[in-house]
Amino acid sequence: DSEVKKKADADRYAIEQNAEAQKRKELAQADAEKYRIEAQAQAEAERIRLDGLAKADAERAQGTAEAEIIRLRGLAEAEAKEKIAEAFEQYGQAAVLDMIVKMLPEYAKQVASPLSNIDKITVVDTGGGANGGAGKVTGYATDLMAGLQETLKASSGIDVKELIETYVGKNAFEKSAIIPREDFSRVEEVLEK
């Protein structure tokens, strides 16, 4: 009886010890797996945080660069306007007239640009005389150019006719108080800048 009990107790003790060892082993593995998952999650969270910071820094740098470009463009435009104002102050209406005369061809081109979209015109002359048919079509372009001065005056307030009459009608270019012809190159340089 004693031998059987001792052997049974020894077997039971061995089984309990094996079970306890297995339990500890499984707990250690579970803890290791838990730690590994937490470490991965923390690493992923840190990667996402750093990625977000990098993107935020990039966007901030891009915004700063764009703001600097806008600021510099504004400064350049302000400086150009200041130079134009200086030229106007120094040379008065002669500078305005010179600038307008140079700008008129481009202005006329823009006003007449819708006509360039016409691909084909068929003219049927009903015998209206000299002012009918094809003559009328060319008359539209001529009328458009003739009305350019009024269009410019209405859109900008600049009366080109009055400016021209002021200088040409009164022989202002011949007076020494007005800009000598050689000084016009200086006005052009200032206006170009």
- Has residue 28 got a pLDDT over 90? yes
pTM score > 0.75 for this model? no
- Has residue 6 got a pLDDT over 90? no
Residues 101, 187: Cα–Cα separation, whole Å: 13
- Has residue 50 got a pLDDT over 90? yes
Residue (of 103, 137, 100, 105) closest to 121 by Cα position:
137
Residues 160, 157: Cα–Cα separation, whole Å: 9
Q: What is the pLDDT of residue 27?
A: 94
Residues 88, 96: Cα–Cα separation, whole Å: 7
Top-confidence residue, 88 or 31: 31
